[in-house]
């Protein structure tokens, strides 16, 4: 390792947010011509650490050196000047501006769109990106937006590139393409850091791995000398099993039957196009697809939150009688005696109210009960207590606002409430996004327990490995159409990946 030049050296970096210690005494080197994978669970401080390098946060204490020279990075501008560029997990792009305008944002000098556009084309040609510089961001797909972010960093001549979970929203094919570009940049002599928690990506891409846990630096190693199990153990701090349980379905019977469902969003764009499928009781139906391909609309249509243009959604009761759910709102669906639970993607913006305490959040669904004009606060408080106990929620007490809990605990509260009504149907969207490994397994376990109880589970996921491990069947969406339904036990990851980008999945480009 001593042969390489250190591009960045971090010494004793500490950063706290209020009482939360995000990083403590972290020491880390980043070398030129190397891809470093920064590993760690959610909440382990990877992003915070890199944000200090890119000037978003300022460390409480510690030193940063670039090319051996100690530097002070007060703001993003300092970071650019030092050749540091970061692609954030949540894209830092302005929707109503074009790609070019976004790329040149924050630079000095006279505004010359034409010249900038030419330079962007040049960069795109060099690395094989496909971007229309004059396209508005709101018209772009997720992977296009990411490309814009990467071009933005290159446009500024970054020598040190930081990517925060860049593959979370990409298909396997897009991921491979991105990796190819990253390898080319490494061979160009750039220093690259990729933040991730996906083991197979670390293995296939990186040269070296550094691990953070609870804000502390644990250690680093050459990628070829380690393996997924060892890295995971380092991340979590103790040995973990990486297998998700998949019990056999119990007596599967059709529960939700969707036929020829077409849905348009507010702008009149077709988000679901002629979708038909059946979700069985006692079975997990996984939904795969590039993000924004209609997953959200599909779940919301079933839950009564999305108007359908055409088609039908039927609920089949245990006694065989059929109810139509189309055109009904959530209240009407509940009044029909259909217990349908929904764990939405946006936990604090939809599933829960961040500023309300645990008990008040528990009664979101049940507050109407009873004829009284006033709400009953005792039952929800009791439910909150039992959820906290059963799911090991870490919270000072049940009158703490949900917003102040960590992501994993927020999700436990949400899932806990949703399954407390003993649902017949459970819809989940990105149920483990942003959770640490332990919480993720708690959630998988909860979902599997529902399945064993005979609940029809619809599981929208983004990590194909997880989907392939947990689902009995997988429905693949592509641009709002059903690309195919495959068996979770026999499906092949690449095949599913292809189906995500092309209806049917055949390769004939």
Partner 1 sequence: MIDLVTFIPRAIGQGIPLLYGCTGEILTEKSGNLNLGIPGVMYVGAISGVIGSFLYENSVGAGNPLNGFLAIMIPMVCSLIGSLIMGLIYCFLTVTLRANQNVTGLAMTTFGVGFGNFFGGSLIKLSGADVPSVALTRTSNFFSVSLPFAKNLGWFGKIFLSYGFLAYLGIVVALIAGYMLKHTRVGLHLRAVGEGPSTADAAGISVSKYKYVATCIGCMIAGLGGLYYVMDYACGVWSNDAFGDRGWLAIALVIFTIWSPNIAIFASILFGGLYIVYLYIPSGIDHMELKELYKMIPYVVTLVVLVITSMRDKKENQPPASLGLSYFREER
Partner 2 sequence: MSKNNTNNEPLIHISKRDVLPWHKAWGVRALAILAALVVCAIVSVALTGDNPISIYKTIFVGAFGTARKTWVTLQSVSILLIISLALTPAYKMRFWNIGGEGQVLVGALATAACMIVIGDKVPNGVLILIMVVSSIGAGAVWGLIPAIFKAKWNTNETLATLMMNYIATQLVAYYTVVWEVPKGSGKIGIINQQTNAGWLPQLGNKYLLSIVVALIITVALYIYLKYSKHGYEVTVVGESERTAQYVGMKVNKIIIRTMLLSGALCGVAGLLLVGGINHTVTTTIANGQGFTAVMVSWLAKFNPITMIFTSFLIIFLERGAGEISTVFGLNHSFSDILTGIILFFIIGCEFFISYKVSFRKKEKEAK
- Looking only at residues 392 through 431 of this chain, which bind partner 2 when binding is defined by CB under 8 A? 404
Name the minimum Å distance from CB 315 to partner 2. Answer: 16
Q: How many residues does the chain have?
A: 509
Q: If contact means CB under 5 to 8 A according to the sort of partner, which of partner 1, partner 2, none does residue 334 touch?
A: partner 2
* Strand arrangement of the beta sheet that strand 481-487 belongs to: 340-343, 425-429, 456-460, 283-288, 473-478, 481-487
Give the closest residue to 43 by CA, choosing from 212, 186, 256: 212
Number of other residues whose CB lies within 10 A of the CB of residue 473? 20
Site for partner 2 contains 364 (CB under 8 A): yes
Q: What residues contact residue 57 under an 8 Å CB cut-off, 6+ apart?
A: 15, 48, 51
Burial of 309 (0-12, 13-18, 19+ CB in 10 A): exposed
Site for partner 2 contains 367 (CB under 8 A): yes
Write b or e for each residue in 50-60: b if 16 or more Cβ atoms lie within 10 A of its Cβ, otherwise e.
bbbbbbbbebe
Residue 350 DSSP class: I
3-state helix/strand/coil string of 284-325? EEEEECCCCCCHHHHHHHHHCCCCCCEEEEEEECCCCCEEEC
Of 8 and 104, CB closest to partner 2: 8
Site for partner 2 contains 352 (CB under 8 A): yes
Q: If contact means CB under 5 to 8 A according to the sort of partner, which of partner 2, partner 1, none does residue 327 touch?
A: none
Q: If contact means CB under 5 to 8 A according to the sort of partner, which of partner 2, partner 1, none does residue 138 touch?
A: partner 1
Of 45-53, 152-160, 332-340, 433-441, the segment contacting partner 2 by CB under 8 A is 332-340
Q: If contact means CB under 5 to 8 A according to the sort of partner, which of partner 2, partner 1, none does residue 351 touch?
A: partner 2
Name the minimum Å distance from CB 438 to partner 1. Answer: 21
Name the minimum Å distance from CB 350 to partner 2. Answer: 4
Site for partner 2 contains 12 (CB under 8 A): yes
Interface residues toward partner 1, by CB under 8 A: 17, 54-57, 75-77, 79-80, 86, 88, 92-97, 101, 104-111, 136, 138, 266
- Beta-strand pair 160-164/191-196: parallel
Name the minimum Å distance from CB 102 to partner 2. Answer: 27
Q: 64-93 mask for partner 2 (x: CB under 8 A)? A: -x----xxx-x-------------------
Provide DSSP, 210-279: EEEETTEEEEEEEGGG--HHHHHHHHHSS----PPP-PPPSS--EEEEEEEEEEE-TTS-EEEEEEEEEE
Q: Please select the residue that binds partner 2; options are 19, 321, 490, 508, rule is CB under 8 A.
A: 19
Q: If contact means CB under 5 to 8 A according to the sort of partner, which of partner 2, partner 1, none does residue 349 touch?
A: partner 2
The residues that touch partner 2, with contacts defined as CB under 8 A, are 9, 11-12, 17-19, 58, 61, 63, 65, 70-72, 74, 303-305, 329-334, 342, 344, 346, 349-356, 360, 363-365, 367-368, 373-375, 404
């Amino acid at each position: 390792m001593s042969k390489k030049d250190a591009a960045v050296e971090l010494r004793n970096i500490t950063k706290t947010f209020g009482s939360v210690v995000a990083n403590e005494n972290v020491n880390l080197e980043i070398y030129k011509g190397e891809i470093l994978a920064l590993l760690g669970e959610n909440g382990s401080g990877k992003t915070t650490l890199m944000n200090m390098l890119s000037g978003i946060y300022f460390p409480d204490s510690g030193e940063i050196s670039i090319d051996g020279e100690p530097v002070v990075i007060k703001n993003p501008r300092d970071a650019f000047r030092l050749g540091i560029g970061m692609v954030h997990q949540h894209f830092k792009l302005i929707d109503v501006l074009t790609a070019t305008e976004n790329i040149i944002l924050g630079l000095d000098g006279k505004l010359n769109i034409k010249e900038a556009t030419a330079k962007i084309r040049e960069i795109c040609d060099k690395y094989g990106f496909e971007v229309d510089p004059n396209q508005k961001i709101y018209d772009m797909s997720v992977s296009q937006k990411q490309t814009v972010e990467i071009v933005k960093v290159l446009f500024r001549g970054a020598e040190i590139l930081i990517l925060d979970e860049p593959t979370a929203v990409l298909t396997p094919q897009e991921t491979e393409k991105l990796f190819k570009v990253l390898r080319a940049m490494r061979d160009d002599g750039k220093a690259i850091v990729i933040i991730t928690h996906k083991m197979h990506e670390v293995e296939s891409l990186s040269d070296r791995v550094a691990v953070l846990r609870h804000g502390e630096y644990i250690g680093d190693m050459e990628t070829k000398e380690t393996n997924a199990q060892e890295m995971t153990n380092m991340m979590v701090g103790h040995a973990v099993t990486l297998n998700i349980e998949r019990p056999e379905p119990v007596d599967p019977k059709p529960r939700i039957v969707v036929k020829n469902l077409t849905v348009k969003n507010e702008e009149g764009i077709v988000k679901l196009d002629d979708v038909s499928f059946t979700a069985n009781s006692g079975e997990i139906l996984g939904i795969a697809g590039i993000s924004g391909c209609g997953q959200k609309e599909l779940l919301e249509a079933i839950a009564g939150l999305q108007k359908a243009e055409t088609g039908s959604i039927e609920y089949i009761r245990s006694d065989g009688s059929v109810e139509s759910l189309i055109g009904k709102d959530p209240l009407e669906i509940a009044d029909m005696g259909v217990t349908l639970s929904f764990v939405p993607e946006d936990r604090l913006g939809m599933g829960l109210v961040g500023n309300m305490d645990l008990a008040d959040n528990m009664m979101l669904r049940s507050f109407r009960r009873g004829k009284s004009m006033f709400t009953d606060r005792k039952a929800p408080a009791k439910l909150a207590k039992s959820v906290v106990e059963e799911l090991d929620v870490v919270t000072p007490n049940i009158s703490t606002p949900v917003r102040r809990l960590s992501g994993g605990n927020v999700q436990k509260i949400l899932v806990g409430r949703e399954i407390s009504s003993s649902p017949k149907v459970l819809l989940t969207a990105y149920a483990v996004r942003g959770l640490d490994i332990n919480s993720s397994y708690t959630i998988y376990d909860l979902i599997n327990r529902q399945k064993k109880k005979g609940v029809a589970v619809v599981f929208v996921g983004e990590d194909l490995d997880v989907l392939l491990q947990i689902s009995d069947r997988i429905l693949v969406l592509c641009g709002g159409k059903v690309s195919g339904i495959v068996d979770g036990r026999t499906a092949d990851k690449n095949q599913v990946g292809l189906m995500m980008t092309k209806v049917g999945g055949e390769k004939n480009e």
